[in-house]
Chains A and B, each alone.
Chain A
Amino acid sequence: MKVLLKKSDYEKILAYARSERPDEACGLIAGKDLDDGITREVRKVYMLTNIDHTNEHFSMDPKEQLAAVKDMRANGFMPLGNWHSHPETPARPSEEDIRLSFDSRASYLILSLRVDERPEINSYHVVHCRDVAKEQLVLVD
């Protein structure tokens, strides 16, 4: 799967993730799957509260999740997956990330702030909470 993410949305994620340090930050992504069957376009990103407030894992605020779902539907978007930050570790799924990646259709974006001046973001999909594959994430204007 190729995931298209607007640079402006990436900047929003980055700014929010930096503001939430030392905790992990998290949110949702919504948009559309394109007709080619291999590309999905992120049209909106949502910044949610990590109610765990730790740098090791995250749980999204359920009320904010519900509000985001409503907003997606109002905008005609479908949920595409989620994103979260790794303040101190690389932009790849932790064992817990993999174990809790229940939806093989979802794209899971991970932003690493390990090197502050060189943030890194990757997208993954996970099958059966076990098999991880990196997706092609493209930042677009």
Chain B
Amino acid sequence: MTITVGGEKKEVKDGITISELIEQEKVETPEYVSVSVNEEFAQRDTFDTTHLKDGDVVEAAADAIYK
């Protein structure tokens, strides 16, 4: 499926979780990353259980430089 991450289209596996996406994106400081999905802020404790859908728009911010 295709999602948008930080303004860029990406092909990811169906049903990928936010945690898996963070790992796949090789975020250097995953414990400090903030994420929104379709403009909705995602609480950290939902990262493992939130499955992304085709067309989702993901925004992420970590420390000073954003992946």
A interface residues with partner B (beta carbon < 8 Å): 28, 62-63, 65-66, 68-70, 73, 79-82, 100, 102-103, 105-106, 108
| Contacts A73-B6, A102-B32 given; does A81 touch B64 at CB 8 Å | yes
> In whole angstroms, what is the CA distance A108 to B59 when docked?
23
A102 touches B61 (CB 8 A): no
Report whether over half of chain A's contact residues are helix, strand or loop; otherwise say mixed. mixed
A106–B64 CB distance below 8 A: yes
* CB <8 Å contact, B63 and A63: no
A73 to B66 alpha-carbon distance, docked (Å): 11
- Report, as a range, how many residues of chain B touch the other chain: 10 to 19
- A100–B64 Cα gap in the complex (Å)? 10
**Within the complex, which residue of B6, B7, B34, B65 is in contact with A62, where a contact is CB–CB below 8 Å?**
B34
**Which residues of chain A come closer than 8 Å to B7, judged between CB atoms?**
73
Q: Which of B29, B32, B41, B64 is close to A82, meaning CB atoms less than 8 Å apart?
A: B64
Check B28 for interface membership: any CB of A closer than 8 A: yes
A69–B61 CB distance below 8 A: yes
Q: Is the CB of A28 within 8 A of B34?
A: no
Which B residues are CB-close (under 8 A) to A80?
A: 64
Distance, CA A80 to CA B63, complexed state (A): 11
Q: Which residue of A lies closest to B43 (CB)?
A: A62
Q: Chain B residues with Cβ under 8 A from A65's Cβ?
A: 34, 61
List, in ascending order, chain A residues with CB within 8 A of B65's CB: 79, 81, 103, 105-106
Q: Which residues of B are found within 8 Å of A103, using beta-carbon distances?
A: 28, 63-65
Say whether B2 faces chain A, with CB atoms less than 8 Å apart: no
